[in-house]
Chain A
Amino acid sequence: MNFTQKLFSATAAIAIAAGAALAEPALIFDLGGKFDKSFNEAAFNGAERWAKETGGKFLEIELQSEAQREQALRRFAESGANPIVMAGFAFADALGQVAADYPDTKFTIIDMVVDAPNVRSVVFNEHEGSYLVGMLAAKASKSGTVGFIGGMDIPLIRKFACGYAQGVKSVNPDAKIVANMTGTTPAAWNDPVKGSELTKAQISQGADVVYAAAGGTGVGVLQTAADEGILSIGVDSNQNYMHSGKVLTSMMKRVDNAVFSAFSDGTDMETGFMVMGLANGGVGYSLDEHNADLISASMRDAVDDASDKIAGGKLAVHNYMDDDNCPALDF
């Protein structure tokens, strides 16, 4: 740290009541916002859990614009925050530019790989978790038609949809999968009303289980599914509690664990590539008192069996990202 940087961080610390002490970790949320009941909130929960267990404090920012990605990274790095965790693939480009300028700061990026000596890249096998909930959906469906509602039509969401479709087809090869995306602007990640409309549209096409992978939009999907008497599947966080007995399960993506472990490791964090899949509990389906009556023993056995096979490498779920193609679903 040179003199101006020191001076800068000192003035910044004075300027604000909650001053940034050295080596506080920082968390950067993506444009969807902190309380989306889903991806960003999972990250926030991980950070909160760390704060509660250690009594530490952390810096955080919810972004408002694309230009703020690099800005937030640089400002946190200059203020001495370490490690800096960012939730979302969209940070990759900015981090690629910034990481080398702050060799003493550790960074963690979730959902994307950035190859730099001080970066830990955490990637989730969403297709594996989605495969499992797809199996459950097909088993729970009476009509043979299941739905998928994504946020925006981007590769990450296609990865979810593709894994889900494969899971459905593995149980019922004749099943019909109705897939819709919510919108074309980032507002699609937080549009419960549109999510509700899409759910109704899918019900009219015969769907009786709907999987939402759409951030805050999913709140509307789960609500409408519960109102209309069909089942829904939550995403990222465990959303079973939101409509007890009406949410079949949730595809858990343990973003909270990724944030928690990065914060816990602190400045000694090991960097490199980290895959969070079924094998190490990074993804999975949720089972609690809210959906215990919905998942029969035979369903659970079948899914757990598939889970073991995938974790053991005996069953391969096609990853959309490998070839930008999906054998079970057309986009």
Chain B
Amino acid sequence: MDVMPKWAEVVLIPFISLALAAILSVIVILAIGEDPIAAVKLMVSGSLGSTYGWGYTLYYATNFMFTGLAVAVAFHAGLFNIGGEGQAMLGGLGVALVCLLVPWPHWTLALFAAAVGAALFGAAWATIPAYLQAKRGSHIVITTIMFNFIAAALLNYILVNVLRPKGSMDPATERFSETVHLPSLHDLLAPFGINFSKAAPANVSLIIAVIACILVWLLIWRTALGLEIRSYGKSGRAARYAGIGSLRITMIAMLISGGLAGMMAINNVMGEAERLVLNAVEGAGFIGIAVALMGRSHPFGIFLAAILFGFLYQGGAELALWTKIPRELIVVIQALVILFTGALDNMVRMPLEHIFLAIQRSRSAKITKPVD
């Protein structure tokens, strides 16, 4: 039963969580002797005040959209996929192989192939944990997180020993050719007369991410498979009784999840770095969990939460650039937001539910009085 009206669920709870995180952040900044108002101004103007700032904000947001969707799809099936990090790393490997091994004539073809490659590699990396969960009951939280480390080790080996150009100090592949260069938002918006910053890394992958949001929404709420995934997630036993195979749903949900996480690589590997570096994912897989939690596993919520986290990342970078606020405290501020929106959800939710229950009771008491 829904205790709260929809608007409170979707707007009020995240807003209060954010406000609490902001208040604590202000205290933190005050405690180290910096000016919180100047810091907030700097964060907002640096990440939203120019097309340059937006370019970075949207670049990070694109990463988080993919990983957030990945976590959300698994959530709907009742699976907690913490392996987005490793799946995105492998996705990067898929993109790098597609871009390096095939001489693509045009970026559109390359983007399509790279997206498929990224999704396949990401999905492949999710296969084993999914199978172990479905067949052997090995807990998916444990297996996916362990696969993150295996992915890091594998990527390290491949980059240092196989894909690194000879004599290069950097454990990274060589640069992809110019033809697979993805158009940035600057290139895309120029025909419309919008002068978007050239330096910012946001690129055409953003559009793919938005399309992915729409497709995930269609999948989860408008297809039979989506219904099966959701029923399995709500109650595995009831779903099995209704003839929904647990092996099938676990595998399909995890493959889609892994594929989405892997597809993040078209943004960071193909769109930004244009080569595969060792540290390409840098935590986006884990941020995806917070994004999915905050977005209530709904693609539109994820879209908004991803932009919020993009803002935090880019705003944090601006703070690091122009103030003496140490990096660790910027992480603290980012972590506070994650803590309040993700982990401490119930802290805000329960008092609110009580309030709404009380309101409902007093209302229904008024209505039902004559009947009694």
Contacts and interface: CB of A to CB of B under 8 A. Distances in A.
Interface of A: 12, 15-18, 20, 31, 33-34, 59, 61-68, 70-72, 74-76, 89-90, 92-93, 111-112, 152-156, 184-186, 321-322, 324
B168 A155 contact: yes
Given A66-B279, A68-B317, A185-B149, A153 B160 contact: yes
A306 to B, nearest CB: 25
Contact of A93 (B41, B166, B175, B199): B175
A321 B320 contact: no
Nearest to A98: B199
Most chain-A CB neighbours within 10 Å: which of B38, B153, B278? B278
B272 interface: yes
22 contacts: A61-B320, A64-B320, A64-B327, A64-B331, A65-B317, A66-B277, A67-B268, A67-B273, A68-B317, A90-B277, A93-B273, A112-B169, A112-B170, A152-B278, A154-B171, A155-B160, A184-B153, A184-B156, A186-B278, A186-B279, A322-B167, A324-B167
Nearest to A155: B169
A52 B199 CA distance: 35
A64 B317 contact: yes
B190 interface: no
Contacts, number: 108
A17 B326 contact: no
A297 to B, nearest CB: 37
A34 B278 CA distance: 21
B177 interface: no
Contacts of B171: 152, 154-155
Nearest to B283: A65
Contact of B38 (A16, A20, A71): A16
Contact of A66 (B166, B282, B327): B282
B88 interface: no
A324 B166 contact: yes
Contacts of A92: 169-170
A112 B272 CA distance: 21
Contacts of B41: 15
Most chain-B CB neighbours within 10 Å: which of A71, A112, A153? A71
Nearest to A68: B317
A-B pairs with the 3 shortest C-beta distances? A184-B153, A62-B327, A184-B152
Contact of A71 (B56, B152, B330, B331): B56
A321 B170 CA distance: 11
Contacts of B60: 67
Given A15-B322, A16-B322, A154 B199 contact: no
Nearest to B275: A93
Contacts of B331: 64
B172 A321 contact: no
Nearest to A152: B156
Nearest to A29: B327
Contacts of A324: 166-167
Most chain-A CB neighbours within 10 Å: which of B169, B279, B316, B330? B169
A258 to B, nearest CB: 16
Given A16-B42, A18-B323, A64 B330 contact: yes
Interface string B73-87: 000000000000000
A189 to B, nearest CB: 11
Interface string B149-169: 100110111001000101111
B156 A153 contact: yes
Contact of B169 (A18, A67, A72, A111): A111
B147 interface: no
B313 interface: yes
A67 B310 CA distance: 12
B278 A154 contact: yes
